[in-house]
Structure formats: structure tokens, C-alpha cells
Amino acid sequence: GQQVMQIPQYQHVQEGEDFTTYCNSSTTLSNIQWYKQRPGGHPVFLIQLVKSGEVKKQKRLTFQFGEAKKNSSLHITATQTTDVGTYFCAGPRRGSARQLTFGSGTQLTVLP
């Protein structure tokens, strides 16, 4: 079945440092979505990427979708303590538009 992996599993950074999480799918994805889950919270939609090679920015967050549409990355510039949480990528299962397969997640800790 479809596998969506993320690395690293955990990342500790000093406030102000940059952070990157990488997402890799075993199959080509029609689109990829990113969600953030704060400790004790629920997943919150961040962004969707659809096109091969697409890059989108949201303030300090930069999202990229690979040329082969099998990988993606999220980069945070100058992390803040409010960035703490687990970042998940999610892609639709092959042949499905809405059955999302979530990645394993990267848990980000920002040290003040």
C-alpha cells in the first residue's frame, strides 16, 4: 500500500534557527497537503500543493512539491516558540481524491 514517510521524526532547534521537514511518498501524488498539530490539539490545514515543482510561501514557511510529485518539504525560517508542534504531510491515496494518507510527522521543539 501507499507509504508516506517523513524525516526527521523529531527536531529540536534554538529559537531563531531554521527548520526543514521532508516528506516522501512511495507513489506519485495528485496533490500534497500540510497540516500542523499543536501538542494536545488537532490537525490544522496549512496548505495544498498541486503542480510539479510548485513552491508556496506563507510568511516564514516555504512549501515545495517535487518535480516527480513524490516528495515535498516544509521549511521554516527563523523559528519561533509558536512554531512548536508536529507537522504532517498528507497525500490522497491512489485513485482517491479525498482519502488522505498522513505522513509519520515531524515533531518540532523550539527552545527559547
Partner 1 sequence: EPEVTQTPSHQVTQMGQEVILRCVPISNHLYFYWYRQILGQKVEFLVSFYNNEISEKSEIFDDQFSVERPDGSNFTLKIRSTKLEDSAMYFCASSGPAGTYEQYFGPGTRLTVT
**Binding of partner 1 at residue 45 (CB under 8 A)?**
yes
Q: Exactly one of 23, 76, 92, 110 binds partner 1 (CB under 8 A); which one?
A: 92
CB 91 within 8 A of CB 35: no
**Binding of partner 1 at residue 97 (CB under 8 A)?**
yes
How far is the C-alpha of 29 from the C-alpha of 24, rounded, in Å? Answer: 10
Q: Exactly one of 49, 90, 108, 110 binds partner 1 (CB under 8 A); which one?
A: 90
**Binding of partner 1 at residue 41 (CB under 8 A)?**
yes
